[in-house]
Amino acid sequence: MMRWMLASLLLGLLGLVSALSASGNQLLVVVDQESDKAKYSQFWTGLQDRGFQITYQTAKDSSLSLFRHGTPAYSHLLLLPTKAKGLGPALTPNLLVEFVNAGSNILLALSAETPPAAAISSLLLELDISLPTDRSSQVIDHFNFDALSASEQHDTVLVRSVEEPKKGVKGFFGVDGLVAFPHAVGHVLGNASPLLSSIVKSPSTSYIYSAKDDAESAEDPFATGSQINLVSAFQARNSARFTVLGSAEALEDKWFDASVQLPGSGRKSEKTGNKEFASKVAAWTFQEVGVLRVENVQHRLREGEVPGNATAAAVNPSIYRIKTKVHYSVDVSEWDNDQWIPFVVPEGDNLQLEFSMLSPFHRINLALSDRTTTSAQYTTEFVLPDQHGIFNFFLEYRRPFVTVLENKVTVTVRHFAHDEWPRSYVISGAWPWISGIGVTVAGWVVFVAVWLYSKPADEKVKRR
């Protein structure tokens, strides 16, 4: 009895400390120096309150390793700016890419005050993200800067009301108010990868400024306006997430509590929305939101297609017959911080089912038919093609900022059995041919009757 009570208590405590992330609670934070941790105390407290178990290490730590026995040792990685020229043998670009390929998530924070190492530039190039050639470059804006802290340098860019990234796609980063990005490292996204998405773009009046070559950078800057991204996201095909935050200072305590003011007469200062925005960026990166799952996939014959000797259609049969009507249903859920909720496809978007062999024979939009506290049910009905072979019920949903939904069920589609074809007289199109056969048979019978009962003429005998 005592053992049972201790086990129950232990499980309860584990439930209390479990992270809100759907992919695990082990977070590795790589800092330049141990003293740097104090700058982000509010950020760490927020993560710990959400159940993350944080391990702090420096890039030079000899015990640092992303993998243990060939598998990721951590679910998530947060890289803060480091003054070292390299990240060390445990954080090479190849290992970081392998870490993402293994399903773990990375939040990379940059700062113009601590120029990114060459390894960081190489890593981002793997993701089709380009940094300025001058590592000390930063984003400058002479119209949207903090007049209280950057009245001369204009290097604290203020973004008003961070909006959702794209209409029709559920966003997770909306914040009311001003978000400050001090000493931001602007980056440019390539056009070739569909896995890249911009979270926050720089204002249209901003540009990337290099202090080393003042005249040249002013005439021909690396990027300007909305070309510059302050925060970007890369979601791999395995749904692992990689977020680039251009300003590590945006996570610091002093900017969580700071008051900022846009330039111009009559403007009032206001508190930043950095704390809320940082929490939302971390929640998305560490898979606390936007995680989808598929369950209870069912396919069967429609009610009217059930054979006469059966009381009900079998669920998920392995074989169907051509030209029968099939019913398909699936439950889709979304992880929202601490629970599974129904996933409702945003307006203007569709969840589609493909019924395919080598190529799709059907591509059908699924309709929302029912909803419970934890999932939404989507259904459709369609007629199987007049083609026998091996087919797949293939469900795929790939959208920015949500994990990939993919489910494939393989079935066999056969042709009609010899006793399933309808009689010829049931088919109206066959009536002319049946009539032709009847006329031929009747004509043959008449011919034979006439031939049999036709007496030949008597021969005339000549008399002498």
Q: What is the pLDDT along the chain (464 residues), one digit of tens a residue?
A: 444 344 443 334 333 345 578 888 999 999 988 888 999 999 999 999 999 999 999 988 889 999 998 999 999 999 999 888 778 889 999 999 999 999 999 999 999 998 888 889 999 999 999 999 888 899 999 999 999 998 889 999 999 866 655 544 556 888 888 999 999 999 999 987 889 999 999 999 999 998 776 555 456 788 899 899 999 999 999 999 999 999 999 999 999 989 999 998 677 889 999 999 999 999 999 999 999 999 999 999 987 666 655 556 789 999 999 999 999 999 999 998 888 999 999 888 999 999 999 899 999 999 999 999 999 999 999 999 999 999 999 999 999 899 999 999 999 999 988 888 777 778 888 889 989 999 999 999 999 998 888 877 777 776 66
Question: Same CATH topology for 14-287 and 290-414?
Answer: no
What tokens were used for 293?
Answer: 């799952």
- Residues with Cβ within 8 Å of 461's Cβ and at least 6 positions away in sequence, in order, are none
- pLDDT for the residue numbered 8: 40
- pLDDT for the residue numbered 456: 74
Q: How far apart are CA 110 and CA 138, in angstroms?
A: 10
- The rounded radius of gyration (Å) of the Cα atoms in the chain is 35
Q: How far apart are CA 120 and CA 131, in angstroms?
A: 9
> Could you tell me how far CA 312 lies from the centroid of its own chain?
37
User: What pTM does this model have?
Assistant: 0.84
Domain ranges of the chain: 14-287, 290-414
- pLDDT for the residue numbered 313: 73
The amino acid that residue 249 corresponds to is E
Phi, psi at residue 183, to the nearest 5°? Answer: 50, 50
Specify the DSSP element, H or E, that contains 280. helix 274-285
- pLDDT for the residue numbered 171: 65
Pairing of strands 339-342, 325-336: antiparallel
CATH architecture for segment(s) 290-414: Sandwich (2.60)
Q: How far apart are CA 183 and CA 178, in angstroms?
A: 16
- pLDDT for the residue numbered 17: 42
Q: Does domain 14-287 have CATH number 1.10.1060?
A: no
